[in-house]
Amino acid sequence: MSDRRRFIAGNWKMNKTIAEAEELVQALLPRVGAVEDVDVVVCPPYLSLQAVVDSARGSAVQVYAQNMHEQDAGAFTGEVSAPMLTEIDVAGVILGHSERRQLCGETDRALQLKVPKALESGLIPILCVGETEEERERGDTERKLRHQVQEGLEKVPKERLHEVVVAYEPIWAIGTGLVATPEQAQDAIAFVRALVQGFDKEAGNRVRILYGGSLKPDNAAELLALPDVDGALVGGASLDAESFATIVETARA
């Protein structure tokens, strides 16, 4: 196993009211609140962030947001900025999730600013990349990943590159129950690592790269055992305390 610290994040997406988020974090804390050997992260919707941060304070669970604007303030109706997140002790942020790219007009150009902005502001960015089913079938997976990784990391100072977390999420595997085979996941993630090594060899060796897409307790072990996979970005299975805790335990093994 590498000496990269394992990282398990639950992306709650647009699920859970404040009361429900509170209930979920209260169920999670006794199960994963004292885990010291894996980074355990939950990503609730904006409105629940404050409540979840307050509940998780003093535990090992870190709270990340699901998106952030690249500017600190301004006329950007409906957006939330880095200083607003750090003010309430949010520790990081998912950037470039495929749902935001596909459904909400997120662009590589904005991500080029968002990733370094997050780092400057004291937030750990999880940069999401991944190909569609069509792109995989056309043999365009590597081209897509190269483009997304290069755009997303281009403006990150070399000495901070290793702090970025990258999540490889094949779009065809998200919410479909169709999980990447270990070979597909390992190949894509090793390719992403090589791209980061292309920016800086040492950073590429240190950067954590996650797998995401229909990861569940029953397939977590084989994916987390792959040499270049350092953790997971979990959607559906993170909405249930028991199954998320089982995935965290699997990462510790």
**Distance between CA 67 and CA 86 in Å, rounded?**
13
Q: Which of 123, 196, 234, 245 binds ligand 13P (CB under 6 A)?
A: 234
Q: Which of 45, 116, 152, 235 binds ligand 13P (CB under 6 A)?
A: 235
Q: Residues 88-117 vs ligand 13P: string with x where CB under 6 A?
A: ---------x--------------------
Q: By the 8 A CB rule, do 216 and 224 touch?
A: no
Largest CA distance in the chain: 48
Q: Residues 116-155 vs ligand 13P: string with x where CB under 6 A?
A: ----------------------------------------
Nearer to ligand 13P, 64 or 200 (CB): 64
Choose the stretch contacting ligand 13P; rule: CB under 6 A; options: 18-26, 141-149, 183-191, 209-217.
209-217
* Number of other CB atoms surrounding residue 212 within 10 Å: 27
Closest CA to 4 of 227, 187, 186, 175: 227
Q: Residues 10-29 vs ligand 13P: string with x where CB under 6 A?
A: -x------------------
215 binds ligand 13P per the rule CB under 6 A:
yes
Q: Residues 175-204 vs ligand 13P: string with x where CB under 6 A?
A: x-----------------------------
**Distance between CA 107 and CA 130 in Å, rounded?**
14
Choose the stretch contacting ligand 13P; rule: CB under 6 A; options: 26-34, 155-163, 169-177, 189-197.
169-177
- What type of residue is 39? D
Q: CB of 93: closest distance to ligand 13P in angstroms? A: 13
Instruction: Please identify every residue annotated as catalytic.
Output: 97, 169
Angle of helix 108-120 relative to helix 141-153, nearest 10 degrees?
Answer: 40
Range list of β-strands (E), the chain: 6-11, 38-43, 61-65, 92-95, 124-129, 165-168, 208-212, 231-234
Nearer to ligand 13P, 164 or 203 (CB): 164
Q: CB of 77: closest distance to ligand 13P in angstroms? A: 25
Q: By the 8 A CB rule, do 155 and 112 touch?
A: yes
Kindly tell me the burial class for residue 19, based on how many C-beta atoms sit within 10 Å of its own C-beta (0-12, 13-18, 19 or more).
exposed
Nearer to ligand 13P, 10 or 116 (CB): 10
Q: By the 8 A CB rule, do 10 and 18 touch?
A: no
**Contact positions vs ligand 13P (CB under 6 A):** 11, 97, 169, 174-175, 212-215, 233-237
